[in-house]
Amino acid sequence: MEFTALQILPPKDWGRFEDLCRCLFAAVWGDPYTQKNGRTGQPQHGVDVWGRACGPHAGTHCVQCKGKDANYGGKVTTADFDAELAKAEHFQPEPAYWFLATTAPTDGVLQEHARVRSAKREARGAFPVNVLGWEALVALMGEHPKVIEQFYPEHGGHMQELLAAVRALPRRDEVFAMIEQFTVAANHPSADAKGAWQPVRFDQGRGLGPALLGRALGAADTMQCPRLPEAGDLVRELKVSYSARLAGVPGAGKSVCALQAAETWAGKGYRVLRLIDPASARIQLTDDDAPTVHLIDDAHLASPHGLVLAEQCASETKLLLSTFTSVDGAGTRPGTIHLDAKRAVRVIADELRARRDETLAAVRTIDDRIGDGLGEESIDWRLDAAAQSDFPWQFCFVLSGGWRRVRSIIASARAAGADIVLGAVAIRQLASRDARAGASDLAPLLGAAQVAPDAAERAIAWLVEQRLVLAASDLRCPHQRFSAEVFDPILTEQDKGGRQQLAAMIGHTLADPMMPLAGLGSLLTQFRMSRGNVIWTPLIGRDLLEPFLDRCWNAHEPADIAAAAYALREIDSYIDDYFKYPTKAQVETIASWFSRPMPEAAYRVGAFINGTYRNRRFGRAIIRASNPEAIADALNQAMEAASADFACEITKMVSQSFGALTPEWIARYLTRVDRRKALRFIANWPASSQIYHAAWFCEQFTYLDREFGFDCAEALGPAIAERMRANPIDAIEQLDDIFGSTLRVFDPLGVYRGKLAPTARSRAIASELCSVWEPKALAAKLSQLTPRGFQGAAELLNVLHTSRRDIYDETVAALDWKAVEAAVGDNWAKLPHNADMFIAQCHASKAGRKEVARLIEEHIEEIDRLDARFAIIAPKAAFRQIERGARVNLSGRWQLGAVVLAEFHKRRPELVQALLGNHPALMAKALSEESPSFFDDALLFLRVCRQVAPEAFESILSHIDLSVVEKGWRSALTGRQGKHKVRNGSARIAIAWLVHVTQDRTDPLGDLARRLLAELPKETKISPKRLEPFPDL
């Protein structure tokens, strides 16, 4: 029967109908680059599909798809037609022909309306129009068999070949004879029947590693994988009917599931055999007495009739389990169990979360950046990301950090001629913000790179086979992090021509108005950051960037403004000195973004202005052109519980711009802010909003009006007290801006001194905030530390030590040190910095000193290099460290190193030489640096070393690099480094001391010392007492 004579139904959903129209008209027009117009939610100007056509109306042909019938809702009216046509008038470039295609039946009234409208339009020189009902679309499909095969596979195929094959089939009597013969053979197999089956063993598992790397899994390996629920369904099906079928899309985990079911029967004494060649002409079950599960993987390759006959021969002791690859359930028999890939992903994720330690250990063997330490990616975060996958294999790729293997993958892709196409996939995935893509979506990019269609088709097939894209119909990499990593390895291995191909594809994408601005900004960011030994940004010239920049400067929606502000802040990476001479229009545009803050955009705008520190005139120009009253009004309006986060985003925008704000601007802004409302707002901070947003709010006012900022911080305390008690480490991390820049009681860098020192009021507020913590309850929570929590716990103890010493002492005394020791785990050899900080922070209390010393002494044999702080805390352990030939780290620890050296000299002088080891060379290198910060606080160590270890001191002097040292010493003495002033009082004293003690030398170092004394007599002046030895050493 002809295709057009069949009862063909429209696709079941709207998106599928659009896909059908794209594919159909691509065939009709002969244009493989035919595309869908934009994405869901974007204005499409009456056009869903467009492409190029030849003939009498050569040019851009456009189709508006209307899903109208029982499936989609009502018929298309003439008013619908006119409304869509009116939109199409704005499509650019102007269509050469416009069609309205509908799933509704052909309507004579509508056809006549379209003919009349088209004739009138052509008479005045406008493009012609037409309407195609469902019957007309079916007729067009009848002329293009490939479209039928793709969308209606049950009606596709090559009809002539099919008819010829049918004629060649055996006659009815011959078929019955064959069936009878086959049945007899199945019940009485030939001697070699058993040879067609391969034994399956479940006793040689290799852990999760092979699955995570996407390798072929052995039967025992599948037992290490989480058990899929369909495995239980298969077991029950086999028990009742002796045969079972499992179907699913490629990569859904069918083989794993089938083997898990088979293993259940193996546990009952059944042997498991797998068919070696599923395409065998005959499938014969074994006929011995051994209970057997016969497994046929890829049974869709087997003879359907042969498989049915084998299933009919299955019995209680001869079970048959088969798996099929299918798409949307097509081609499977009733009763087939279908494997849900998304559910399989959820099941796998849940079980691996439950087996967290085992999962972490397995993943760490592949990706050593996964862990619980600070700076390591959490296995929990990685599992959450993997759980978003569509397929189990994709889950494994994400969980194992497949992007870490990008260079070997790209090398394979290049060998297969697929690396440029993979680059196109990555470009579109990043630019579209992970939107699905088909071959037609990639076609324009590959056309810009002049990749031949047949080469692109082969490359896509290879990428699908290698599982570097999700599917032939979904050309996205398994994860965007992989897409972000492909550029450098592709460009590194490509020649100039290949690099230009990639640049052309990026340029084409940047000019695509349908791509979201945020996606294009992300593409540029990832391309900028994808670098090894070469910076690739010069490949993207200004001409390629101009369309993108035009869209940035014309951004109006919040998401676009946020993307534009971020991209423009980084644009110097592509265009040198882009903002060296900003135009008036550019200043006014950014000032308007600043003056009209919008949710999710305000933060980015503030970050942009913060970046103008490199061009202060530009920043000030933006501020002068802005409207502080409008910003204050926006803040006043946003200070409600429902918009609390936006209110704080506005304040963060202002505080980020602090360096560019003028006194006049600040006064106008503060005058307009409703302070009473601000205090009510912060005093009733909603539980649904993050604490750190409230910290932004207080921090901004502290910058602009310190006392009012203190008022806000004071009002906030009661509103967040319960959250601070419930999760103290999270709270202290979120309150970093409160205890740090607002109250200035947390000062790890020692910058809040002199005029910047905390005031009596700020200390009182900090004390009140800390009073919410009850020592024993707090100690219990701190004792439940994970390695990732050490830094926050150290910060909390630091704040308590400064603000509430009583709570600090009681908390440290109540800590469970066994739990702390367990949290450190096996990391004593190279103690993580955050654990180091926490342990050292505990040392300030009497109880803490005792426990910290005990910990270090008990684990000293495991420590490769003992920090100078711990050498002071546990001197006995430090002595043992040197005695066993290990190291104590003195480098970069000038003052602590002096204390350690003095202690060794007093108590174990015979170990001094071993303690210093190669430190003199390292210290000489620090003294030779151009920046005085390297030898800040060096004096005490140098004095002690000269007195107790003169040979080591002489070694330091002999290793000083005289070719560069003068610049750094002059900077320290004069307080200037180039054009910049530097405050290095202690560095000046250290160098002045060195100049005095080396002035009598007869070598070049002595010459330098005498020259500096003569040229800088005031700067090299030093107290005579500092030149005297310490009397107690």
Cβ contact 974:1017 at 8 Å = no
CB distance 657 to 618 below 8 Å:
no
**Chain centroid offset of residue 361 CA:** 21
Alpha carbon separation from 545 to 507, 555, 641, 906, 1003 (Å, rounded): 7, 16, 41, 68, 59
Instruction: Determine the pLDDT at residue 327.
Output: 62
In one-letter notation, the amino acid at residue 79 is A
Q: Assign residue 804 a region: left if phi > 0, alpha if psi is -120 to 50, beta otherwise?
A: beta
Tell me how far apart the alpha carbons of residues 799 and 805 are, in angstroms, rounded to a whole number. Answer: 9
pLDDT digits (tens, 9 = 90+) for 107-124: 888 899 999 999 998 888
Top-confidence residue, 204 or 478: 478
Q: For residue 71, what pLDDT is reported?
A: 46
In this structure, the dihedral spanned by the alpha carbons of residues 868, 870, 874 and 878, taken in order and rounded to 10 degrees, is: -50
Q: What is the pLDDT of residue 389?
A: 92
Choose between 219 and 538: higher pLDDT. 538
Rounded Cα gap, residues 973 and 933, in angstroms: 12
CA distance 458 to 451: 11
Q: Which helix (H) or strand (E) holds 825?
A: none
Query: Is the four-CA dihedral 141, 145, 148, 154 of positive or negative sign?
Result: positive
Residue 981 has pLDDT above 70, yes or no: no
Q: How confident is the model over 832-860, as pLDDT tens digits?
A: 888 888 998 998 898 999 999 999 999 99
* Structure-model confidence comparison of residues 485 and 372, the more confident one: 485
pLDDT, tens only, 680-690:
999 999 999 99
Distances in whole angstroms, Cα of residue 883 to Cα of each of 852, 860, 898, 916: 21, 11, 20, 13
CA pseudo-torsion sign 458, 459, 460, 461: positive
pTM value is 0.72
d(CA 919, CA 568): 46
| The dihedral sign for the CA sequence 652, 653, 656, 657 | negative
CA distance 842 to 840: 5
pLDDT at 103: 87
CA distances to 690, 789, 790, 852, 875 from 842, rounded to whole Å, are 29, 15, 12, 7, 17
Q: What is the pLDDT of residues 607-659, one digit of tens each?
A: 999 998 888 899 999 999 999 999 999 999 999 999 999 999 999 999 999 99
- For tokens 């500096």, what's the residue? 1012
* Local confidence band at 160 (pLDDT 50, 70, 90 cut-offs): very low
pLDDT tops 90 at residue 4: no
Query: By C-alpha distance, which of 843, 865, 844 is closest to 854?
Result: 843
Looking at the DSSP bridge assignments, the partners of residue 129 are: 98
Report the mean per-residue pLDDT for the chain.
88
Q: What percent of the chain has pLDDT over 90?
A: 64
pLDDT tens-digit map of 553-591: 999 999 999 999 999 998 999 999 899 899 999 999 999
CA distances from 664 to 63, 376, 620 (A): 58, 46, 12
